[in-house]
Amino acid sequence: MTERADIVRTKLFIDGEERPAHGGREYGQFNPARPKELVGHAALSAPKDVDAAVKAAHAAFPAWSVLNFAERADLLRKIAAALTANEADVVERSKLFTREHGKITRETMMELSRLGDRFLLSASYAERLAAEEQLQGPPLDTIVTRQPRGVAALIVPWNWPLSILGAKLPQALITGNTVVVKPAQNSALAPTLTLQIIARMLPPGVVNIVTGSARDIGDALVGHPLVRNVNFTGSIPVGRHVMKIAANNLTPVTLELGGNDPALVLEDADLNAEAFQKMYLASFASTGQICMAMKRLYVHESRYDEVVEGLRAACNRAVVGDGLLPETTMGPLNNGQQLNVVKSMIAEARSHDAEVCELGKIPDEALYNGGGYFQRPTLVLNANQSLTVVQDEQFGPVLPISKFRTEEEAVALANDSAFGLCSSVWSQDAERATLIARKLEAGYTYLNNHGPMAQDNRGPFGGFKQSGIGRNLGYDGVLAFAEPHTISGPPGFLF
C-alpha cells in the first residue's frame, strides 16, 4: 500500500538526537473525525528505550543543575520565543494536532501558544528561587537552598497535552532538573514535534521524549531507580497505580487527576448572554474533555429555568463537525472509549427519566454518522444526584443541571464527591461568593467563570481528595521540583 505524502512520522528524542524505537517499532495515529484515516506514525518505545532516555537525562544532570537560575531562565525565554517564531509551521502543526486529536484548530493553536507563555512564567521565578532564605544565628547561621532532584518523569494525558506539559516542563527545567517526557498515545505527533523544538535548544539529554504505550513502558519509567520525581497528569485509577510503582523507590509523586467540578449559581447571579457563553465554554470547550471543565451545575431554584434556557441557546449555536473547518466549534471526542463512557451516561440518565436534550447543529450528517467519535452538546435536566453523570467525571460534552434551595444545600451537593479539582460560584456579591468558595473542597474556585480560559497561572493548581496530590503551576508548582536543603554552621560563620 502506498502512503499519502502528508503522513507524519515521529521518532524518539534521546540524548540530543532523534532515534527510532528499539526494533524500529511504531504505531498509527488516526483521525477521530474519520477513524479510518491514518494521520501518522509515532515511535513505539520499549523499556530499553526508556532506560536509555533516563540514563541520558541522568548524565546531563550535573552540568545542567550547576547553571544558575538566571542562566536557565534565559534559555527558557529563548525557547518561548522559538516556539512561535515560525508562524507557518505553528499553523501546520496545529492542523496536524487537530487531525490526530479531534479538537478544533482554534484550540490547538491556543495550546501551541500557551506553552510558550508558561515557559515565560517559569522564567519569571528565577530571582525568587535564587534569593535563598538566610537565618542568622544564634543558635546557628543557616541558609535554605532549593536544589533540583535529578531526573523527572513527566507523564501527560491526551486532552491538553501541551498546556499540561507547560505546567511541568518549564518548572522542572528552571529548578535544574533534567526530564523524560512521555506524551499520551492518543495524541503524540504534534506534541512530539513541538517538544523537539524545545529539546534541540537545550544541551543533549536535558529533555528526552519517549512515545508509545504506557502498557509497555509505564512501569519502566515510573519505577526506574534513576528517576527522582514523577509528575503525572491523568485518570485516578492510573494515578493510583503510578503511586504504587513509585513507592518501590520512595520516588516523590505529583498527581493531577480527574475532576468533577461543581458550579453553584446563586440567586443573585448576573445572568446575561456573556455569562451563558462563559458557562457554555466552561463545560463544552474541547468537547468537554477538560479536567477542570464545569461538570455539574447546581442552580438556585429561582434562576433554574433561566439558566436552562440560556445554556440551551448556547448549545444550539454549537456547530459539531470536523475540527479543521473554520465554522466548526466542537470536534469529535478523541477516542471511542471516551465516547462510550459518555453515551452510557446519557443512556442511564434517560432510563432514569431525566430530561436529556441533545443539541447543536450538524452541518455534515454523513460525517457525524460516519463512525467518527461525535456527540452533540447535551444537557441532562433536573439531574438526580445519584446519576453516574453527576457522580462521575464524564469527560465529554454532557452537563447535568439540578436545583438547590439553600446555600448549605448547595455546598453539601458540591462537596458530595470523591473529586476535588476545581469549582465555581456565580454571584454578584463578592463577599458572599468568597465565603462559599472557602467552604468548597477544591484546589481552585473561579468566581463568575470556570475553566482554563479563566485560570490564573500564577496560582497553584491541583486537587483536593482523589483529584490529586501536590500542585502544578504558580510558585508552588516550581517548588514541587526542588528539594529544600538546609545548610548551617556556628553563629557568625556564614553571616
Binding site for ligand NAP (CB under 6 A): 155-160, 164, 182, 184-186, 213-214, 218, 222, 233-235, 238, 241-242, 256-259, 291, 393, 395, 421, 463, 468
- From the list 107, 111, 256, 393, the catalytic residue is 256
291 among known catalytic residues: yes
Contact 158, 185 (CB under 8 A): yes
Q: Residue 135 is placed in which grid cell?
A: 537565618
201-231 exposure pattern, b = at least 16 Cβ within 10 A, e = fewer: ebebbbbbbbbbebebbbbbbbbbebbbbbb
Binding site partner of 291, from ligand NAP, Mg ion, none, Cβ cut-off 5-8 A by kind:
ligand NAP
> How far, in whole angstroms, is CA 411 from its chain's centroid?
26
Q: Which residues, 6 or more positions from 423, have their beta carbon under 8 angstroms from its beta carbon?
A: 261, 262, 263, 264, 414, 437, 440, 442, 444, 445, 446
Binds 432: which of Mg ion, ligand NAP, none (CB < 5-8 Å by kind)? none
Q: Is the Cβ of residue 42 or residue 314 nearer to ligand NAP in the bound state?
A: 42
Minimum separation from the CB atom of position 350 to ligand NAP (A): 24
The stretch near Mg ion (CB under 5 A) out of 218-226, 249-257, 258-266, 283-291 is: 258-266
d(Cα 408, Cα 406) in Å, to the nearest integer? Answer: 5
Closest CA to 270 of 423, 447, 409, 403: 447
Give the residue closest to Mg ion by C-beta.
Answer: 295
Nearer to ligand NAP, 217 or 356 (CB): 217
Q: How far is the CB of 233 from ligand NAP (least distance, A)?
A: 5
Q: Smallest distance, Å, CB 479 to ligand NAP?
A: 17
Residues 419-438 that bind Mg ion (CB under 5 A): none
- Which residue lies nearer to Mg ion by CB, 206 or 292? 292
Q: How far is the CB of 487 from ligand NAP (least distance, A)?
A: 34
Alpha carbons 263 and 95: distance in angstroms, whole number? 33
Considering the complex, state which of residue 34 and residue 465 has its C-beta at the smaller distance from Mg ion. 465
Is the CB of residue 395 less than 8 Å from the CB of residue 338? yes
Q: Which is nearer to ligand NAP, 112 or 269 (CB)?
A: 112
The secondary structure of residue 433, as a DSSP letter, is H
At 29, is the secondary structure helix, strand, or coil?
Answer: strand
Retrieve residue 229's grid coordinates.
520525581
Cell 543558635, residue located: 139
CB of 254 to Mg ion, least distance (A): 24
Residue 449, C-alpha cell as written in the block:
467563570
Which one of residues 45, 122, 159, 394 is an interface residue with Mg ion (CB under 5 A)? 394
Shortest CB 469 distance to ligand NAP, Å: 11
199 versus 401: smaller Cβ distance to Mg ion: 401
Instruction: Please give the Cα distance from 446 to 464 (Å, whole number).
Output: 15
The CB-nearest residue to ligand NAP is 218
* Catalytic one of 100, 107, 111, 291: 291
From ligand NAP, Mg ion, none, which one binds at residue 421 (CB under 5 to 8 Å depending on kind)?
Answer: ligand NAP
3 state SS of 356: strand
Identify the residue whose cell numbers are 493510583: 240
Q: Which does 182 bind (CB under 5 to 8 A by kind): ligand NAP, Mg ion, none?
A: ligand NAP
Nearer to ligand NAP, 33 or 238 (CB): 238
Q: What is the DSSP letter of 31?
A: E
Query: What are the backbone dihedrals phi and psi of residue 246, each rounded to the nearest 5 degrees, phi first?
Result: -65, -30
Site membership for Mg ion, residue 260 (CB under 5 A): yes
Do 439 and 198 form a contact (C-beta atoms < 8 A)? Answer: no
Residues sharing a CB contact under 8 Å with residue 31, sequence separation 6 or more, in sequence order: 37, 38, 39, 99, 100, 102, 372
Which one among 295, 303, 376, 450 touches Mg ion, defined by CB under 5 A?
295
- Tell me, what amino acid is at 464? F
Q: Of ligand NAP, Mg ion, none, which one does residue 238 interact with (CB within 5 to 8 Å by kind)?
A: ligand NAP
Is there binding between residue 101 and Mg ion (CB under 5 A)? Answer: no
Return the one option of Mg ion, ligand NAP, none that residue 94 interacts with (CB less than 5 to 8 A, by type).
none
Q: Which is nearer to ligand NAP, 185 or 192 (CB)?
A: 185
- Please say which residue, 30 or 488, places its beta carbon nearer to ligand NAP: 30
Partner whose binding site includes residue 22, from Mg ion, ligand NAP, none (CB under 5 to 8 Å by kind): none
Pick the piece of the chain touching Mg ion (CB under 5 A) from 158-166, 179-187, 291-299, 429-437: 291-299
Pair 37, 98: CB distance under 8 Å:
no
CB-based burial of residue 85 (10 Å sphere; 0-12 exposed, 13-18 middle, 19+ buried)? exposed
Q: Nearest CA to 334 among 286, 294, 376?
A: 286
Least spacing, CB of residue 157 vs Mg ion, in Å: 17
> In the structure grid, which three cell numbers stand for residue 328, read together?
466548526
Residue type, 15: D
Greatest Cα pair distance, the chain, in angstroms, is 80
Q: At what angle do helices 214-222 and 236-247 cross, to 10 degrees?
A: 40
306 an active-site residue?
Answer: no
CA 284 to chain centre: 16
Q: How far is the CB of 340 from ligand NAP (least distance, A)?
A: 13
Q: Compute CA distances 213 → 22, 30, 84, whole Å.
A: 13, 15, 29
Give which of Mg ion, ligand NAP, none residue 164 binds (C-beta under 5 to 8 Å, depending on kind).
ligand NAP
Q: Which does 259 bind (CB under 5 to 8 A by kind): Mg ion, ligand NAP, none?
A: ligand NAP
Report, in Å, the least distance between residue 260 CB and ligand NAP: 9
Catalytic residue set = 256, 291
Q: Binding residues for Mg ion, per CB under 5 A?
A: 260, 295, 394
